[in-house]
């Protein structure tokens, strides 16, 4: 996958790139680029934002600045490329969307800042608008990291173990339910025991027990428990 992240703060991603699954994805042939809107802004003194028409507090990222950044990276050849604007009012990000995006050979995430991004970016320049939750972050960088993390770990080899991503929460293997609980040593801690069945050696019953717990968790999630 070639993943491009447009941002005003490329340095935010320095830590992200040190993470093992991100390094694995890169070692496996994926490419990550961080593109700074200020490097390509057509305005003087690195300006990228402006006051909102109609008045109001805060600044808005300009459409010409975002367009110039995309133009510098791709020219007019954007066909087939998924370009995603990170915004609190976008499509809710979930495991299904992560899998969908992980199948893209080319993916672009646009981070906004300030009060928001000129709506014409959403109307004319992007293919998707995605939200990581119904709350407002100070910018799209953390949201883009969340999306990049969830997407990159799905790429072959990213987790270093072929099965790690198979039977995890919300996967088809678990019928879309959350993952079953995990336990490890010690078997008893402060009187808290692990479920006996996990050390029974009966793999079929262990599988059934896990499927049951996973279904239960799915049901209690929906009830808000």
Work out the end-to-end distance of the chain between its first and last CA atoms, rounded to an integer number of angstroms: 38
Indicate which single residue of 3, 48, 86, 165 sits in contact with ligand ADE (rule: CB under 6 A).
86
Q: Does 137 bind ligand ADE (CB under 6 A)?
A: yes
Q: Going by C-beta distance under 8 Å and a sequence separation of 6 or more, which residues neighbour residue 189?
A: none
Which of the ranges 53-61, 84-92, 101-109, 210-218 carries the binding residues for ligand ADE, by CB under 6 A? Answer: 84-92
Identify which of residues 140 and 178 has a Cβ nearer to ligand ADE in the complex: 140
Tokens 């293919």, residue located: 127
Please give the Cα distance from 69 to 118 (Å, whole number).
Answer: 14
- Asked if residue 139 lies in contact with residue 109, where contact means CB atoms within 8 angstroms, the answer is no
Identify which of residues 48 and 174 has a Cβ nearer to ligand ADE in the complex: 48
Indicate which single residue of 30, 108, 131, 214 sits in contact with ligand ADE (rule: CB under 6 A).
131
Q: Does 133 bind ligand ADE (CB under 6 A)?
A: yes
- Residues between 97 and 116 that touch ligand ADE (CB under 6 A): 112
Please give the Cα distance from 181 to 210 (Å, whole number).
Answer: 8
Identify which of residues 108 and 131 has a Cβ nearer to ligand ADE in the complex: 131
Identify which of residues 137 and 198 has a Cβ nearer to ligand ADE in the complex: 137
Closest C-alpha among 82, 88, 62 to residue 142: 88
- For residue 99, what are its two tokens? 């899998």
Q: Does 9 bind ligand ADE (CB under 6 A)?
A: no
- Asked if residue 61 lies in contact with residue 113, where contact means CB atoms within 8 angstroms, the answer is yes
The residues that touch ligand ADE, with contacts defined as CB under 6 A, are 86-88, 112, 131-133, 135-137, 140, 143
């Amino acid at each position: 996958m070639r993943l491009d992240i447009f941002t005003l703060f490329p340095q935010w991603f320095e830590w992200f790139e040190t993470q093992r699954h991100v390094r694995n994805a890169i070692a496996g042939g994926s490419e990550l680029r961080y593109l700074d809107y200020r490097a390509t802004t057509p305005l003087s003194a690195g300006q990228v934002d402006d006051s909102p028409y109609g008045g109001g507090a805060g600044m808005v990222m300009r459409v010409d600045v975002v367009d110039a950044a995309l133009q510098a990276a791709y020219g007019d050849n954007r066909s087939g490329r998924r370009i995603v604007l990170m915004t609190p009012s976008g499509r809710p990000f979930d495991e299904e969307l992560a899998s969908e995006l992980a199948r893209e050979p080319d993916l672009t995430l646009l981070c906004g800042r300030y009060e928001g991004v000129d709506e014409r970016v959403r109307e004319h320049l992007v293919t998707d608008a995605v939200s990581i939750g119904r709350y407002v972050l100070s910018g799209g960088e953390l949201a883009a990291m969340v999306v990049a993390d969830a997407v990159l770990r799905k790429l072959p080899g990213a987790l270093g173990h072929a099965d790690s991503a198979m039977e995890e929460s919300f996967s088809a293997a678990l019928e879309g339910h959350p993952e079953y609980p995990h336990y490890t040593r010690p078997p008893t801690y402060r009187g808290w025991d692990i479920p006996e069945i996990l050390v029974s050696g009966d793999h079929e019953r262990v599988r059934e027990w896990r499927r049951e717990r996973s279904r239960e968790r799915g049901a209690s999630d929906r009830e808000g428990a």
